[in-house]
A and B are shown apart, each in its own frame.
Chain A
Amino acid sequence: MKKILGFLALFPLATGHAQLSKSQFDTLFELCLPAESESGWLEIGWEIDLWKARQRAAKEGKPIFLWEMDGHPLGCT
Chain B
Amino acid sequence: MADREFVFGRADVQKLLRDHFVTVAADDWYQRRQNDAVGKFFRAVADQGPRKGAGGSTRQGRYAFTASGKLLGFNNNRDPQRILRMLRESLADFKQLPAGERMPGAVKVPPLQRSELERRFARTPPDGGLLVRVHSRVLDKDKEGGYAACGKAGANQDSLRHNGFGASSDHLWIRAAEVQSFLENVRNRREGTALPPAIATRIARYHLVDNTRGEPPHWGRDEIREFKLNAVPITGRPGALRLSGTFHLETEKGDRGYAGVMEGRLQYEAKSNKITRFDLLAIGDHWGEGRYTPGARPGKHPLGIAFTLGDPGKPQDRVPPQGIRWEQGYYEAEKH
A residues apposed to B, CB below 8 Å: 1-9, 11, 13-14, 17, 19-20, 25, 28-29, 31-35, 37-38, 40-77
Contact = CB atoms under 8 A, between A and B. Distances in A.
Given A46-B25, A69-B60, A71-B215, A7 B146 contact: yes
Interface residues of B, number: 105
A50 B24 CA distance: 6
Contacts of B35: none
B322 A46 contact: no
A49 B24 contact: yes
Given A13-B260, A54-B41, A64-B66, 12 more contacts: A13-B283, A13-B302, A14-B259, A19-B244, A25-B264, A28-B283, A33-B167, A46-B23, A65-B17, A68-B46, A68-B60, A75-B319
Contacts, number: 287
A28 B211 CA distance: 18
**B-side binding surface: helix, strand, loop or mixed?**
mixed
A75 B24 contact: no
Nearest to B68: A58
A14 to B, nearest CB: 4
A18 B216 CA distance: 29
Given A19-B263, A62-B22, A66-B26, A41 B67 contact: no
B90 A53 contact: no
Given A14-B284, A71-B322, A77-B1, A46 B24 contact: yes
Contact of B65 (A61, A64, A73): A64
A61 B102 contact: yes
B26 A3 contact: no
B325 to A, nearest CB: 10
Interface stretch (B136-144, B175-183, B192-200, B328-336): B136-144
Interface string B167-187: 111110000000000000000
A51 B214 contact: no
B203 interface: no
Contacts of A51: 37-38, 41, 109, 112
Contacts of B167: 32-35, 38
A58 to B, nearest CB: 4
A25 B94 CA distance: 51
Contacts of B48: none
Contact of A76 (B18, B68, B169, B283): B169
B125 to A, nearest CB: 11
19 contacts: A3-B144, A20-B281, A33-B308, A34-B135, A34-B166, A58-B108, A60-B104, A61-B103, A62-B21, A63-B102, A65-B17, A66-B65, A67-B62, A68-B27, A68-B59, A68-B62, A69-B27, A71-B215, A73-B27
